[in-house]
Chains A and B, each alone.
Chain A
């Protein structure tokens, strides 16, 4: 991993399928402070598109990076406000 940012917290949503990765990401981000970065670890292939779309359509968050592994998808979301 070539992460150039510090992960504040990690959310494990492995096994969960739509809509839970997005729903749980939203809940986890709500608990974070501004500037914090949440790492979301998912196994749902749909999470690549869903978390991207959620971050684009939601105020106060920014998708910093996404990594597609063999079976695991990692998403990095920064809370911007």
Chain B
């Protein structure tokens, strides 16, 4: 009859019950791996502190948060100034080294020229109702973006933890950033 059980299993072959348990285990693991409970993640490394380069990480961070991403922005070297409450309000735009500037580099290198180009940019930002760096940062913080200040750079620049906006994470290093990047769906170096 067809209900006959096959020959007794070889000594080291798993039993039917063991196989069933193993299948259950794998199905659970598969469900965990494919479930939608985890948010998408974005990791940005912000390394620049000029007025123009403060915008891309903040705009992308706030927009990703609006998409429901979990966002971390790791600020290192001059990028740290974006998180510095006082310095973030006085970020400068360099007049030198950008061939799109309306003045030649030889003129742009004159004393005071950075102040002129910075003021020009600030005026355009105000006239255009573009959000300020501070507004974007506060908005991003409200939306749950995690801003991290590189501890090594804090020490290097001789900044104090109290210099940063409330809600900024300090005491983190490259290993934290690397872990975030490894876990993220999008990684950007700005």
- A residues contacting B by CB (< 8 A) are 15-20, 22-23, 25-27, 54, 57-59
Q: How far is the CB of B38 from chain A (nearest CB, A)?
A: 13
Which residues of B42-94 are within 8 A (CB) of A?
Answer: 59, 62-63, 65-68
Chain B contact residues, CB within 8 Å of chain A: 59, 62-63, 65-68, 128-131, 136, 139, 142-143
- The answer to whether A23 touches B68, judged by C-beta atoms less than 8 angstroms apart, is no
Partner of B59, one of A18, A26, A54: A18
Other-chain residue from B65, B67, B131, B142 in contact with A20 (beta carbon distance below 8 A): B131
- Pairs of residues from A and B, 10 with the lowest C-beta to C-beta distance, nearest first: A26-B66, A15-B129, A19-B63, A19-B59, A23-B66, A23-B62, A22-B66, A17-B130, A58-B67, A19-B62
Would you call A19 and B66 a contact (CB within 8 A)?
Answer: yes
Q: Is the CB of A58 within 8 A of B66?
A: yes
In the complex, the chain A residue whose C-beta lies closest to that of B130 is A17
B59, B66, B129, B131 interface centre (most CB from chain A within 10 Å): B66
- Interchain CB contact under 8 A, A54 and B67: yes
Given contacts A19-B131, A23-B66, 8 further A-B contacts (CB under 8 A): A16-B129, A17-B131, A19-B59, A22-B66, A23-B62, A26-B143, A27-B142, A54-B63
B63: chain A residues at CB < 8 Å are: 19, 22-23, 54
How far apart are the CA atoms of A59 and B37 in the complex, in Å? 12
- Within 8 Å by CB of A17, from B62, B68, B129, B143, lies B129
Hey, which chain B residues are within 8 Å of A58, CB to CB?
66-68
In the complex, which residues of chain B have a beta carbon less than 8 angstroms from the beta carbon of A27? 142-143
Inter-chain contacts of A18 with B (CB < 8 A): 59
Distance in angstroms from A11 CB to nearest chain B CB is 13
Given A18-B59, A57-B67, A23 and B129 contact (CB-CB distance below 8 Å)? no
Given contacts A17-B128, A27-B143, A59 and B68 within 8 Å (CB-CB):
yes
A49, chain B: closest CB distance, angstroms: 13
A54 near B66 (CB under 8 angstroms)? yes
Bound together, the chains give a CA A65 to CA B65 distance in angstroms of 23
Residue in A closest to B125 when the chains form the complex, CB atoms: A17
Residue of A nearest to B39 (CB): A59
8 Å CB contact of A16 from B131, B142, B143: B131
A36 to chain B, nearest CB (A): 18
- On chain B, the residues within 8 Å of A15 by CB distance are 129
Q: Which residues of B contact A59 (CB under 8 A)?
A: 68
Q: Cβ of A20: which chain B residues have Cβ within 8 Å of it?
A: 131, 139
Please indicate the chain A residues that have their CB under 8 angstroms from the CB of B136 in the complex: 19
